[in-house]
Amino acid sequence: MFYFKSKVAIVTGGGNGIGRAICMELGRKGALVIVADPSIELAREVAAAVAAAKGSARAVKLDIDQTGSLQTLVDSVLAEEKRVDFMFNSAGSFFDHPARMQNVEDLRHQIDISEWSIVYGTTAAYQVMLRQGFGHIINTSSAAGFSNEQSIAGYAVSVFSTTLRGESANLGVKVSVICPKPKPAHRDVRRADQPALARIILRGVEQNRAFIPVDAPALAV
């Protein structure tokens, strides 16, 4: 309970899905949560829900498609709070139709959100955390990267994260990867599972696990 208390946590994609659940659980555990989402309305709803549960949160609009937006986000949080303890790169893009129905722009958008946003968010937070001498970056990988349907994005995120974890081990910065475990599930069950999955994720963060396995369907909503 006290591991996250009074810590500053940025959560991208915090307006819905597992990002929202992570924000709620972080708030419950006493962290100051920066809810970053392309929809400021959703971010404000989550921040208000955290506050209603007696937590602390602030909503921020994140234009994740714009180069430099994640750097601006991290810099602004550092300027206001004087520290960044956790960076949850939870924003993602998911297509549930087959590849033959996707065009180049679909794929470009998916890779930009699911892969490049993680690289940008990680890089921005890493430099701050190196100067601080502490911090923890948590990246959400692609569910397909851990199934029989191999995903380049999922593979790249995992390799990038684990390589950085090895480099930063003696520099005070921790890096973990949320690893989805694909299995069939009804959409309503996915939503119901999200608070429990957020607790699993934060337990893995507290234990500084390299890989934190969770149920993939709930991450896709």
Residue 178 lies in a domain: yes
Gap between the Cα atoms of 199 and 149, Å rounded: 27
Residue 3 lies in a domain: no
Write out pLDDT tens, residues 135-160. Answer: 999 999 855 444 444 444 556 788 88
CATH of the domain at 108: 3.40.50.720
Q: Which domain holds residue 188?
A: 8-219
Dihedrals φ, ψ of 150, to 5°?
Answer: -65, 140
Share of the chain above pLDDT 90, in %: 60
- SS3 string of 46-80? HHHHHHHCCCEEEEEECCCCCCCHHHHHHHHHHHH
Dihedrals φ, ψ of 210, to 5°?
Answer: -65, -45
For residue 94, give the nearest of 122, 114, 112 by alpha carbon: 114
Q: Dig out the tokens for 216 from the structure.
A: 């993939």
Predicted model pTM: 0.86
Place of tokens 């307006």: 15
- Total number of domains in the chain: 1
Residue 132 lies in a domain: yes
Q: What is the mean predicted confidence (pLDDT) over 211-220?
A: 77
Write out pLDDT tens, residues 40-57. Answer: 999 999 999 999 999 999
